[in-house]
Amino acid sequence: MGTVASRRNYHLAQGLKADNQALVITAKYRYQLNDEIHPGDGFFIYEIPNWDYRRWQSRRKTGGARPTGSQLRSWKRKLLDSVPTSLLFGEGGIVYIQKGYRRARALIEKYDIRYIYSSYRPMSDHVIAWRLKKTFPDLVWIADFADLPIDPVFDHVYLPGLQEAFLRKILSRADMVTAVSQGQSKVMDKYTDRVTVVPNGVEPSTSTPRPEPFEKFTLSYTGSLYGKRDPGLLFQCLRKLLDEKKIDPTTFRILYAGDHGPVWDRAVIKYGLENISVNRGRVTHDQALEIQQRSHINILLSWASPEVQGWLTYKLYEYIVSGNPILAIVNGSMDYELRNLIKKYNSGMVIANRSDSILRVTDFLMELYQLWIKGNYCLKLESGDDHEFTFRWSSICRNFRKYIS
């Protein structure tokens, strides 16, 4: 549906298509179209009607625009993430499940299909695949999770015991379950013993030559502000540096690009940072990549706990490939998998969001800002081209195909 997860699906499907004919079942009514992803050439697309909460909400409340998370009260969001409500009215919905299953069954019989791939979110795709595997036991079913369906720390479902039992039942038929990191793989091990890590990747760069850096010293965040992603620690540090007159607001700015502009603006107002904040709102994927390449520091907001590590998002790899310093702020405990990856590529600093972290963050910001003031700032830490080759989707897909050959 034009999201980060759909880009992952698109590239993994491209990898499967290299050796096979690829037939794609998708929702007919989409709510966030991404103008860089065009899964048409080489794919056979079958659109299935989806009467779900997003369709109803977009028609009734937003005049057809994509509904945002802020438009759903937390209890409603929690209900829509929980079985059985998620299957009835969640993304896809029961009509999509029933019609998607019937269409897929007919295609399998017609084309003698051997492999099926489904992804979360939504869970409705996995339910369709589960029913297909039950009907055609010889199918090889790959169930992908770009995110955790049940976070043991983040309270986002009702009756977690029921949700876990449902997930175990569904995944009991999967031949392979894929997760984006070792940390998330360990969580998924609770539900099946067939988990394999298939990380996210990046598309080849379309910016040639590399764009010039911003004129002002720029910290950028290109992404979402849901869950426990919290810019509070960063904003405290910036407020402190402004009060101490260590940064000049005429040469320094923070830039946001994403779907949660109002959330960003409220936090900016709370810390009195209006004079250095720029809110671009929603931008295209290519525009987001350009912002990352032109920024002096790319901000990554994440969360972790001792139980759940490895929140290695799509954006993280784009940041590493940009070659510019990363400041990753983790709400909760340290994410050691994230820290080790950024350390491996000498890409910046990862810090847990605690009150005693302010000094370390301000020191990190001031070190780079002072280098820039003196004209000694080297924007690229290392060769982004080398990192791009390592994280390119074509390389990841070659490894992915080995599992199903």
3-state SS string for 133-169: HHHCCCCEEEEEECCCCCCCCCCCCCCHHHHHHHHHH
Give the residue extent of every domain in the chain: 4-198, 217-387
Residue 42 region by backbone torsions, left for phi larger than 0, else alpha for psi between -120 and 50, else beta: left
Give the HSE-up count for residue 319: Cα atoms under 13 Å, Cβ half-sphere. Answer: 28
CA pair distance 80, 334, nearest whole angstrom: 30
pTM over 0.95: no
43, β-bridge pairs: 22
> CA 366: distance to chain centroid?
29
Q: Which residue has the tokens 């990862």?
A: 350
Q: Report the C-alpha dihedral over residues 334, 354, 366, 240, rounded to 10 degrees.
A: 160
**What's the token pair of residue 348?**
């910046």
CATH number of the domain at 217-387, please?
3.40.50.2000
CA pair distance 351, 364, nearest whole angstrom: 11
What does the DSSP assignment read for 247-306? S-TTTEEEEEESS-HHHHHHHHHHTT-TTTEEE--S--HHHHHHHHHH-SEEEEEEEE-S
Q: Strand 115-120 to strand 43-48: parallel, antiparallel, or no bridges (unpaired)? A: unpaired
CB 335 within 8 A of CB 304: yes
CA pair distance 296, 323, nearest whole angstrom: 10
Q: Which CATH class is domain 4-198?
A: alpha beta
Give the HSE-up count for residue 1: Cα atoms under 13 Å, Cβ half-sphere. Answer: 18
H/E segment holding residue 372: helix 358-373
> CA 152: distance to chain centroid?
19
CB 233 within 8 A of CB 360: no
CB 337 within 8 A of CB 182: yes
**What's the token pair of residue 72?**
């759903």
Q: Do domains 4-198 and 217-387 have the same CATH topology?
A: yes
pLDDT in single tens digits along all 405 residues of the chain: 446 667 888 888 877 776 677 888 888 776 544 434 454 557 788 889 888 877 776 665 544 444 444 445 678 888 888 999 989 988 889 999 999 999 999 999 999 999 999 999 889 999 999 999 999 999 999 999 998 999 877 788 999 999 999 999 999 999 999 999 999 999 999 999 999 999 998 876 655 677 889 999 999 999 888 778 889 999 999 999 999 999 999 999 999 999 899 999 999 999 999 999 999 999 988 899 999 999 999 999 999 998 899 999 888 999 998 889 999 999 989 999 999 999 988 889 999 988 789 999 999 999 999 999 988 776 554 444 555 557 888 888 888 877 766
CA pair distance 223, 311, nearest whole angstrom: 14
Q: Quick one: which of 104, 177, 166 has its CA closest to 135?
A: 104
